[in-house]
Amino acid sequence: MIGATVTVKELPGTGSSANTYGYYSVTLPAGHYQISAQFMGYAPQVQTVNLNQSQKIDFQLTEQVNELKEVVVSSQRKNENITKLQMGVQKLDTKDLKNIPVIFGEKDVLKTIQLLPGIKSAGEGSSGFNVRGGATDQNLILLDEATVYNASHLMGFFSVFNSDAIKDISVYKGNEPAEYGGRLSSVLDIKMNDGNDKKLGVSGGIGLISSRVTLEGPIVKDKGSFIISARRTYADLFAKLSKDSTINNARLYFYDFNVKANYRINNKNRIFLSGYFGRDVLGLSNTYGIHWGNSTATIRLNHLVSDRLFSNTSLIFSNYNYKINVNNGIEMNIISRIQDYSMKQDFQLYWGNNNTLRFGINSTLHKIIPGIITAISDVDLKSMTNKHAWENAIYISHQYGLSKKLSVEYGARFTTFSIMGPGKFYTYDSIADPRDTMTYKTGQFMRSYFNIEPRVSFNYILNDASSLKASYSRNVQNLHQLSNSTSGSPTDLWIPSSNNVKPEISDQVSLGYFRNFCDNQFEFFTEIYYKKLQNQIDYKTGAELNFNENVESQILFGKGRAYGLEMFLKKKYGRFNGWISYTLSRTERKFDGINNGNYYPARQDKTHDISIVGIYELNKHWTFSSTWVYNTGNAVTFPTAKYQIDGKTMMFYSNRNANRMPAYHRLDFGATWLVKKTKDFESSWTFSIYNAYGRDNAYMIRFRNNELDPTKTEAIQTTLFKFVPSFSYNFKF
Amino acid sequence: MKHPIIHLAIALLLICSFSSCEKVIDLKLDTSSPSIVIQGNVFDHDGPYKVHISKTVAFTEPNIFPPVTNAKVTISDNLGNSETLKESSPGIYISSALKGKSGVTYTLTVEAEGKTYTAVSTMPEPVSIDRIYIRKSEVGNGREVAFDFHDPAGIDNYYRVIEYINDSLKTGIYVGNDKLYPGKIITFALGSSSIKKDSVLQSGDRVRIQFECIDKGVYEYFRTTRGNSDQSTSPTNPTSNISNGALGYFSASTVRQDSIIYR
């Protein structure tokens, strides 16, 4: 249980919290102690120990049943947010995830994190998100340590994460610990469920457009467990009912599987296997089809080297690819793929209370086929030339309590990124024509980049209920996504740093004030941040991004800056809980040749962003929830004039992103009806309505001649979703 | 020969059509100072050829574009010929003796309001239409007008197609290249046939196609006009082959035409 706190009753202030593998370490003088373990939403457990030598104490926390929740009396260590060093991090409770309404009723991690401060939606119904002014490709999305390159199903209306298969979600907003790296803006670290090691169980849900089922149980009781989750949408089955054969011949679905198993070999060794496989299929009769999907696999070994030294070894594989097939007499295929083979070794050394050293190495081989277009029908992926890149990192970080009030974590990540042969590399002249071609052999290094990424954070505890935190971190990104759509398309292209593309670099400083009220019932924080970005990517006017061998010649490099204020107030306990989140921010870019080289707002710049979430438990059977969101519209470019060419009206554009989309706001409702809950069987219904007051939110604005009076032009707004109801039936036995 | 992204857009549209809706909105738009717009064409058939010169207007104004009069418009070629065009009506300049030829490079010079604008375009070799026909739509149930042509091997070719329905320009202008199918027979399907059963075409309509071979600069201009009127990406002005910041294009192209009655 990640982040569960362990405290010692006899020595207040002493304790620890479990690491990402549920492992903890506390150093105490010999004696008789009562040690308790707690985790929000779970019943605390206390064990009495007589300590005269090193001991291993395991806790099994169970989910609190409803009746108990009302009588929970706050005990120590509910102020974890105050005492913990880390800032700019947000954990999402999987229990909140269950209750918050989302579109189409499909519980969704990526939609729910967008309700937190500093994390903004990339568009209506989109699973893409922007963290502190970063682009959507500047988020590192990890599923059991494996990178997920495209987290969207069905054009982003769903995320690839099946919430039934997820145990823990953390988002680091740019100041992540040194063990993470590779993206500028954030790390979204998702851990899969381990499965129940006590008894076999089945759970699932049947919804309007998708169904899911999960099977979990022990491999060997108390020693190992497994979980298998599967999900499929059936929008295409509804499409079949349509009389229009264009629609009823359409293929439109996705499916995904999550599999995980773990086994405790002995007290010192535990092994985990986890995998994900998902596919999207979209097609119109036989003439057009697109398939895309991710697959990941992780093998992990936890090993206790000694009482104080914990080791984790992981072997990771990740794959994302898409294939577009067009067949209108002549066949055409477009193929793109990115593959990672990775090895990770982490150590945690518990020197003493509040004195921990973390260090490790990480090595990844990236193989990239960046969008190839071919007229051959059966393309052998093996025969295609990959771009090879080798990424290595060593990190070290030390967390230390300088005094009872002041603690510090400092460290650095040393990274190398090398682009290698075999392959051809080009240099370009000023008009983007290839100037030189260089051919490299297998394994030959073409270009390497070395970077040091320092990270430091401080926490000064003012008192039991408040603290001040500060941090600085540098992040480097060597894989860059080229996208010519806003909300993310499966055909977005990943390219590595190369002789033409330099690594992106960000430096972020942030300062935060954390305060709890009413005996930790309310949690409040405010953070300010300033971020400087180097080697940001944009495209030349009229850039041809797709299927262009010389795509690197179409890129412009520039600077960026982002700054903002985030506020968050959460009521954590009780029948009524929820939060208010507010972000005031600005994010700007500066490129030679765009807007005369002046700073201009990035597309994702949204001045105000507000989310209000409320969850109310009426009684044992009914829970109601509601969310309301408001944000300033994206920065966009509207025409400043029009003209005529070949009898057609054309739009004239001046400054990039000088205009705003209309403000976005929306209210959603959700309700959960727990029909039956016994030890052996549980069933519930969930209902939701998306955009309950039917706000016409602008998804897109187009400009055209009025159809009836062609001497006039007009602006047309497209709205995607209004009053979208949904329901689903969930069961567990 | 449609761009695959267009297919993706069609597919997306299908998904969204389940619940999306559209409406006309009022937007407060900025207005930039008027810019000059030049469109000039030289074809391989007999002249006169036209050069249109006009100005931009604010988005809120009616679609009446002020002509630029009294400009000095010259078209010269690399064989030493040069002709100054006459203003036949305000903003429209026409040639008299000039005759377009494949392989010849033409230079357009416009002197207007104290500024000089130039553009260069080379007329490619002609490609003829093999046949025009009506077939089942590649997407959906409708029928569509398509035509075949044989792409000459060994050189990069760029094409422009303009579709007229009953002699009025209806659905638009398309450009393409032979990158994927060099030296092959290429089929081009026209956009008038919608993806739904109800085509915009009525039985008895005459569909005429103007099929042009254009040079790379003109192809780039039309390629970069895609997405000119929506906000799905950051829209920009198309890459013009005319100097000094003028909008529009100058093209020397070969033209072949054919037509079919839609039934």
Of the two residues A46 and A381, the one the predictor is more confident about is A46
Does residue A379 carry a pLDDT above 90?
no
In chain B, residues with a C-beta closer than 8 Å to the C-beta of A246 are: 14, 139-141, 195-197
The model's pLDDT over B22-50, given as tens digits with 9 standing for 90+, comes to 889 988 898 999 999 999 999 999 989 99
Tokens linked to A457: 């954070």
Residue A252 · residue A282 · CB < 8 Å: yes
In chain B, residues with a C-beta closer than 8 Å to the C-beta of A240 are: none
Q: H or E stretch including A99?
A: helix A94-99
Does residue A242 carry a pLDDT above 70?
no
In chain B, residues with a C-beta closer than 8 Å to the C-beta of A283 are: 11
Of the two residues A691 and A428, the one the predictor is more confident about is A691
Cα(A46)–Cα(A84) distance, integer angstroms: 22
Q: State mean pLDDT over A247-256.
A: 78
Q: State mean pLDDT over A307-333.
A: 85
Tokens linked to A468: 């001040």
The model's pLDDT over A95-121, given as tens digits with 9 standing for 90+, comes to 778 888 777 777 888 889 999 999 998
Q: State mean pLDDT over A381-404.
A: 86
Q: State mean pLDDT over B84-105.
A: 95
Q: What share of chain A is helix, strand, coil (3-state, %, to 5)?
A: 5, 60, 35
Residue A109 · residue A97 · CB < 8 Å: yes
Nearest Cα residue in chain A from B240: A542
Q: Name the least confident of A29-33, A114-118, A511-515, A613-617.
A: A29-33
Nearest Cα residue in chain B from A376: B180
Local confidence band at B83 (pLDDT 50, 70, 90 cut-offs) = very high
Does residue A633 carry a pLDDT above 70?
yes
Tell me which residue has tokens 């080229």.
Answer: A482
Cα(B144)–Cα(B137) distance, integer angstroms: 5
Residue A234 · residue A253 · CB < 8 Å: yes
Residue A66: the pLDDT is: 42
Q: State mean pLDDT over A541-567.
A: 83
3-state SS class at A83: helix
The side-by-side arrangement of strands in the sheet containing B143-150 is B129-136, B143-150, B185-189
Does residue B194 carry a pLDDT above 50?
no
Any chain A CB within 8 A of the CB of B184? Answer: yes
Q: State mean pLDDT over A230-250.
A: 71
> Could you tell me whether strands B158-165 and B115-122 are parallel, antiparallel, or unpaired per DSSP bridges?
unpaired
Local confidence band at B233 (pLDDT 50, 70, 90 cut-offs) = low
Residue A375: the pLDDT is: 64
| Cβ within 8 Å of A, B 87-106 | none
Residue A198: the pLDDT is: 87
Tokens linked to A386: 């990959």
Give the max Cα distance, chain A: 91
The model's pLDDT over B59-78, given as tens digits with 9 standing for 90+, comes to 999 999 999 999 999 999 99
Cα(B263)–Cα(B257) distance, integer angstroms: 20
- Decide if B11 and A714 are in contact by the 8 Å CB cutoff: no
Q: Which of A122-126, A254-258, A431-435, B227-231 has the highest mean pLDDT?
A: A254-258
Test the A interface: residue of B229, B237, B249 with most A CBs within 10 Å: B229
Identify any residues that bridge with A288 across adjacent strands, giving them in sequence order.
Answer: A284, A326
Q: State mean pLDDT over A382-386.
A: 64
3-state SS class at A323: strand
Residue A438 · residue A450 · CB < 8 Å: no
Residue A65: the pLDDT is: 45
What Rg value do the Cα atoms of chain A yield, rounded?
26
State chain A's mean pLDDT as an integer: 86
Residue A323: the pLDDT is: 84
The model's pLDDT over B132-158, given as tens digits with 9 standing for 90+, comes to 998 876 655 667 788 999 999 999 999
Cα(A433)–Cα(A26) distance, integer angstroms: 62
The model's pLDDT over A121-180, given as tens digits with 9 standing for 90+, comes to 888 777 889 999 999 899 999 999 999 998 888 777 888 898 889 988 999 999 999 999
In chain A, residues with a C-beta closer than 8 Å to the C-beta of B14 are: 246-247, 250, 252, 284
Test the A interface: residue of B24, B59, B188 with most A CBs within 10 Å: B59
The model's pLDDT over A586-613, given as tens digits with 9 standing for 90+, comes to 999 999 888 889 999 998 999 999 999 9
Tokens linked to A317: 């594989």
Residue A135 to chain B, least CA–CA distance (Å): 14
Cα(A715)–Cα(A662) distance, integer angstroms: 13
Residue A709: the pLDDT is: 87
- Decide if B235 and A544 are in contact by the 8 Å CB cutoff: no
Residue A12: the pLDDT is: 65
In chain B, residues with a C-beta closer than 8 Å to the C-beta of A290 are: 8, 11
DSSP letter at A424 equals E
The model's pLDDT over A465-503, given as tens digits with 9 standing for 90+, comes to 999 999 999 999 999 988 766 555 667 788 899 988 999
The model's pLDDT over A180-204, given as tens digits with 9 standing for 90+, comes to 999 999 999 999 999 988 889 999 9
Any chain A CB within 8 A of the CB of B181? Answer: yes
Q: Establish, for the pair of chains A and B, how many residue pairs have beta carbons separated by less than 8 Å.
A: 227
Nearest Cα residue in chain A from B197: A244
Does residue B193 carry a pLDDT above 50?
no
Residue A101 · residue A688 · CB < 8 Å: yes
Residue B247: the pLDDT is: 95
Any chain A CB within 8 A of the CB of B167? Answer: no
- Decide if B59 and A713 are in contact by the 8 Å CB cutoff: yes
Test the B interface: residue of A136, A549, A642 with most B CBs within 10 Å: A642
Of the two residues A417 and A427, the one the predictor is more confident about is A417
Any chain A CB within 8 A of the CB of B48? Answer: no
Does residue A690 carry a pLDDT above 80?
yes
Of the two residues A426 and A273, the one the predictor is more confident about is A273
Local confidence band at B231 (pLDDT 50, 70, 90 cut-offs) = low
Q: Name the least confident of A20-29, A353-362, B111-120.
A: A20-29
Does residue B182 carry a pLDDT above 70?
yes
* Chain CA centroid to CA A374, Å: 33
Any chain A CB within 8 A of the CB of B202? Answer: no
* Chain CA centroid to CA A712, Å: 45
Local confidence band at A536 (pLDDT 50, 70, 90 cut-offs) = very high
Residue A599 to chain B, least CA–CA distance (Å): 16
Three-state helix/strand/coil letters over B135-188: EECCCCCCEEEEEEEECCCCCCCEEEEEEEECCEEEEEEEEEECCCCCCCEEEE
Test the B interface: residue of A646, A701, A726 with most B CBs within 10 Å: A646
Percent of chain A with pLDDT over 70: 89
Residue B140: the pLDDT is: 58
- Decide if A244 and B141 are in contact by the 8 Å CB cutoff: yes
In chain B, residues with a C-beta closer than 8 Å to the C-beta of A287 are: 138-139
The model's pLDDT over A362-372, given as tens digits with 9 standing for 90+, comes to 999 999 887 77
The model's pLDDT over A452-464, given as tens digits with 9 standing for 90+, comes to 999 999 999 999 8
Does residue A545 carry a pLDDT above 90?
no
Residue A31: the pLDDT is: 77
φ/ψ of residue B172, rounded to 5: 135, -165
Residue A69: the pLDDT is: 35
CA nearest to A686, candidates A230, A204, A292: A204
Residue A76: the pLDDT is: 39
Residue A141 · residue A113 · CB < 8 Å: no
Cis ω for the linkage preceding B48 (within 30 of 0): yes
Residue A136 · residue A129 · CB < 8 Å: yes
Does residue A704 carry a pLDDT above 90?
no
